[in-house]
Amino acid sequence: MNAPLTLLQRYDALKAEQTHLRQRDAAAALGVSEAQLLACLPGSTRLRCKLPALLPRLAALGTLKAITRNALAVHEKDGRYDNLTLSDKVGLVLNPGALDLRLFPAHWVHAYAAEQASPRGTLRSLQFYDAAGHAIHKLYLKDDSAVPAWQALVAEFADAHSTPLFDSSHTEAAPASQPLPDGFDAAGFADAWLALQDVHHFHGLLRKHGLTRQQAFRHAPAGHAWQLAGDAVDALLRRAADSALPIMVFVGNRGMVQIHSGAIQRVQRIGEWLNILDPGFNLHLQDSQLHEIWLVRRPTRDGIITAIEAFDAHGHSIVSFFGQRIEGEPELAGWRDLAKHLPRKGAEHVA
């Protein structure tokens, strides 16, 4: 009897058939998590995922390509890991207009370094995954002069003696499946919405009333949230590019949110992907798979702040857009006007 093929042998056979298959898609085809596949590939080194020691070392690697993705969106941004602050619950890489990140370290469980051949030469990366092996964040070297620092980091954090355990039970719950909490006070929630003074207080409002984001939008005060048509994101990006309007683009997963701030230039559709293809910033979005797109208006001490938020069929947040804004200043009139004229789905207020 022939011995069963190893995961690496199965991967090599799959790549021989589909030469341009991406690592994430190959893992799905093979029935494993992306981290499980990466762990078996030549050139991969498991690292100790000790963020307080590891992350401050990233500034020495110079400019990096940072990639954060979820099921339908990929956000790629070039920048340096400067201005890092980190606690047990949250981390910040605060470089507005450059590398701007919000980290949630509890979900960073597995870490790898990878050295892989490509048509563009050797790609060297650091890759971080959650307990189930789903990608949280990836960083690729941009400058060959940083290779010695990267090699030193890999040597210092290499973890050759532990066997990775991937726990598939650590998957993200589907918000769309959650019922409204018993005794939900719709009028009280609407009043609390109108009393907001800071966009960051919205998370607390959701927790207090036990709502998901989409549930909150459906019970927003009249005129403060409505659904948009399926082509709204396409229209948003093309109008923003045509007018050189600076916007903010948020893409995240449960371990990371990555942010772009600034004007965008080249918007192009390639197959099923809607793309921003600018120097130093790329967005890739499967917008046809977005299940709901909402325009949301939140009061703050600086006036109304308008967001466009998009979700998949399970209720997971995929991508959000704001007008570029400095804290303490009102949002741009051009952004508010652009958002107001995006194509709507149904009535102005969906309750």
**pLDDT at 168 > cutoff 90:** no
Tens digits of residue pLDDT in 278-335: 999 999 999 999 999 999 999 999 999 999 999 999 999 999 999 999 888 999 999 9
Provide the residue ranges of all domains of the chain, joining segments of one domain with +.
Answer: 7-82+109-157, 175-267+285-340
Per-residue pLDDT, 349: 45
**pLDDT at 348 > cutoff 60:** no
What single string gives the DSSP state of each residue in 75-142?
EEEEE---SEEE-SS-EEEE-TTS-EEEE-GGG--EEEEEEEEETTEEEEEEEEE-TTS-EEEEEEE-
Residues 130-155 have a mean pLDDT of 96
Distances 131 to 128, 171, 251, 322 between C-alpha atoms, Å: 10, 8, 20, 31
**pLDDT at 224 > cutoff 80:** yes
Nearest C-alpha neighbor of 349 from the set 238, 254, 217, 236: 217
The CATH class, in words, for 175-267+285-340 is alpha beta
**Residue whose tokens read 């011995």:** 3
Tens digits of residue pLDDT in 74-122: 999 999 999 999 999 999 999 988 999 999 999 999 999 999 988 788 9
Contact between 339 and 223 (Cβ < 8 Å): no
pTM of structure = 0.94
Nearest C-alpha neighbor of 209 from the set 189, 194, 229: 189
Per-residue pLDDT, 120: 81
**Residue whose tokens read 């009139």:** 333
For the chain, the maximum distance between any two Cα atoms, rounded to a whole number of angstroms, is 72
Let me know if the fold of 7-82+109-157 is the same as that of 175-267+285-340. Answer: yes
**CA 175 to CA 292: how far, in whole Å?**
13
Distances 16 to 10, 47, 118, 119 between C-alpha atoms, Å: 10, 29, 15, 16
Homologous superfamily in CATH for domain 7-82+109-157: HemS/ChuS/ChuX like domains (3.40.1570.10)
**CA 322 to CA 246: how far, in whole Å?**
9
